[in-house]
Chain A
């Protein structure tokens, strides 16, 4: 059951035998009749949840059900940014815990997730925006998170290729979080899957949940899948993008709309970007992968979708923003564009909570920000599942906050509640 340990010595030993001795990174498990815990969804969050259930909470009977294959959903569709530059008290401790977990993740998992803390720079383009960024930076520092406010000269030193004298959106400076950066999205899910499997978690691919079985008291006791019925003590949903569809199987309605978010990658270029850079006058972010491609994206398309592809108005919009920020990208050719489906909550913040249905727990509503949250989301959801109480870092992410009025409106973008 235990996985091969990856190290320079293992690599050297395998080199001597022409790399014929490597074994699969995780077991392709067959479903058993019953588990203590079932996690629906084998993306980053589901796998991290299963890993921490086994590692931190010592659970031996855990299964992850994935309708496709590991790394084939939103785990393979994000733009790989990690950061903790948040403003509100409900968010900062959670995302900072996540960034700290990222910093030790590769040693913990014994897997190269290519975590690269090359920094994230949020640009501002007016005096008012500078004030807002200074406030955000102060809030971060009060929570013990690193933040540096740069003036235009300091930004110019970092990224001389930006259009500083843009007539409409001149660059006044930026808020830099040096510990932010990127990680390799595939490496993250593969690493969690391998480490979870080594601790006895069953990872069951091509297993789609098609219904929930409830007893006379309404408690969920099992799931129906395309590979048969599987009983469980507790069931956790980590299916962001499809949360409403799975919740509907237990007659739950969620404060969530599914929207399509597009992302783009250019041909491979020599290293030109120092880190992640975001445009403050619109919604645009860009980084450079280790292969050299410029990875970038912008706003949602704006209509509900489960189609995993977007439309041309956003392609035009994102390219215009790229040209306004750094005209040098105009000569680079676009290699690919794709769409992923986001759980957009009505306040732009996630949900990790019990549901009104006994035995069913919910993790979702990650909006555009799920990737960076992967380790903390897994740890907090595992805590909730194992102990039936929220992790101290995730107490604000309640499902009933929309009724009680305790919204976490960090940015106020995304799906619109019917307030008019």
Chain B
């Protein structure tokens, strides 16, 4: 896979650390155990386009939000995470 980093340009996927689904958001303290179990362990694991967090480990060290199709590995879009989730 070639990832088009908005800062560094087209780079090999081996330069990145992949954190996984971008959807999970840490629950608030009082939200209860079920919410935390869901946050820590639950996954949508969709077959199709999903948003993921990628870290450009050996490049600009930016966190990126990558939209990727898990059925084909096609990368639809790459944006800085701080612009998507400020």
Contacts and interface: CB of A to CB of B under 8 A. Distances in A.
Contacts of B13: 303, 311, 313
A48 to B, nearest CB: 25
A418 to B, nearest CB: 5
A306 B47 contact: yes
A259 to B, nearest CB: 10
A255 B43 contact: yes
Contact of A403 (B19, B37, B71): B37
Contacts of A242: 47
A419 interface: yes
B24 interface: yes
Contacts of A305: 70, 73
B85 interface: no
A143 interface: no
Interface in A399-415: 402-403, 415
Nearest to A347: B41
Contacts of A418: 20, 24, 26, 39-40
Nearest to B42: A253
A313 B73 CA distance: 14
Interface residues of B, number: 30
A257 interface: yes
B52 A303 contact: yes
Contacts of A302: 18
Interface string B16-46: 0011110010100000011001111111111
B44 A307 contact: no
A307 B33 contact: no
A417 interface: yes
Interface in A286-302: 302
A419 B33 CA distance: 14
A304 B50 CA distance: 10
B1 interface: yes
Given A302-B18, A304-B20, A306-B47, A311 B73 contact: yes
Contact of B44 (A253, A303, A346, A416): A253
A357 to B, nearest CB: 16
A199 interface: no
B45 A307 contact: no
Interface in B33-79: 33-34, 37-47, 50, 52, 68, 70-73
B12 interface: yes
B43 A256 contact: yes
A306 B70 contact: yes
Interface of A: 242, 244-245, 253-258, 302-307, 311, 313, 346, 402-403, 415-419
16 contacts: A242-B47, A244-B44, A244-B45, A253-B43, A258-B70, A304-B70, A305-B70, A306-B71, A311-B1, A311-B13, A311-B73, A313-B14, A403-B41, A415-B20, A418-B20, A418-B26
Shortest Cβ-Cβ A-B pairs, 4 listed: A244-B45, A313-B14, A255-B41, A402-B41
